[in-house]
Amino acid sequence: MKALAQRSSGWVFGFEDEVWFSRLAQPALHTWTPGEPLRLHSKGKDSKEKHRKTASEHTGEPEALACYGLLRADTQEMMLRFVEGRPVSGVTIEFLEWLTTTLAQEGHRVLVLVWDNARWHTSRAVTEWIKEHNRRKKEQGRRGEDAGCRLLVCPLPVKSPWLNAIEPKWMHGKKNIVEPQRKLSSTEVRQRLCDYYKTTLLPCIKQ
């Protein structure tokens, strides 16, 4: 399917996924030291939970930020939308609407979308929306109107995240925005990630 998209004019092939960017937990990192290796001492589960609760209460901000993303195979561009809340069917539909509208404005006719079997991908609401979206675009094309961008969904096998090329991109982003001296605010996390992925920070999608 990827080869078909690459040789078909007006087609885009992309890997879609959602991720949580934590403001409190640090990603796994490696470093070289001249002597004995550095070791982190755990404060225990109760202490960690207390720290998270305290940080959240003092700032009034969420501990983690949900983000939808599409990795385009043609340009290697990351198309991102952050979420105020968590991934659900309604948010997924709004993200897909934004993707197809944006790609249609670039002149693309078909988005070949690879994603996993998350419940907000396979829900009845999302499935019905995709069918209706493609039916509407097909009818517009028959009438000679600008049909925009259709969706061709390719689900990944169950429990196979290594087949989704966007997964390493998420990890690289987490490691490159880390701030060892303090916890970043929600706004800082969003902006640093968009700067790293070289994309525009857009308004959050509300759950």
CB atoms inside a 10 Å sphere around CB 173: 21
Continuous H helices in 22-88: 45-59
pLDDT tens-digit readout, 100-122: 999 999 999 999 999 999 999 99
Q: Is residue 41 part of a domain?
A: no
Name which of 80, 146, 71 is nearest 112 in CA terms: 71
Give the separation between CA 83 and CA 66, rounded to whole angstroms: 5
- Report how many domains make up the chain: 1
CATH number at residue 147: 3.30.420.10
**Is 70 exceeded by the pLDDT of residue 196?**
yes
Instruction: Choose the weakest-confidence range: 52-56, 68-72, 107-111, 196-200.
Output: 52-56
Segment 129-144 mean pLDDT = 92
Q: Is residue 37 part of a domain?
A: no
Which amino acid makes up residue 195? D
Q: Is residue 32 part of a domain?
A: no
pLDDT tens-digit readout, 143-154: 888 878 999 999
Q: Is residue 121 part of a domain?
A: yes
Domain of residue 149, residue span = 2-27+47-206
Segment 179-195 mean pLDDT = 90
pLDDT tens-digit readout, 23-43: 776 555 544 555 555 554 545
Continuous H helices in 43-185: 45-59, 89-105, 119-122, 124-142, 167-176
pTM of the full structure: 0.82
Q: Is residue 101 part of a domain?
A: yes
Q: Is residue 178 part of a domain?
A: yes
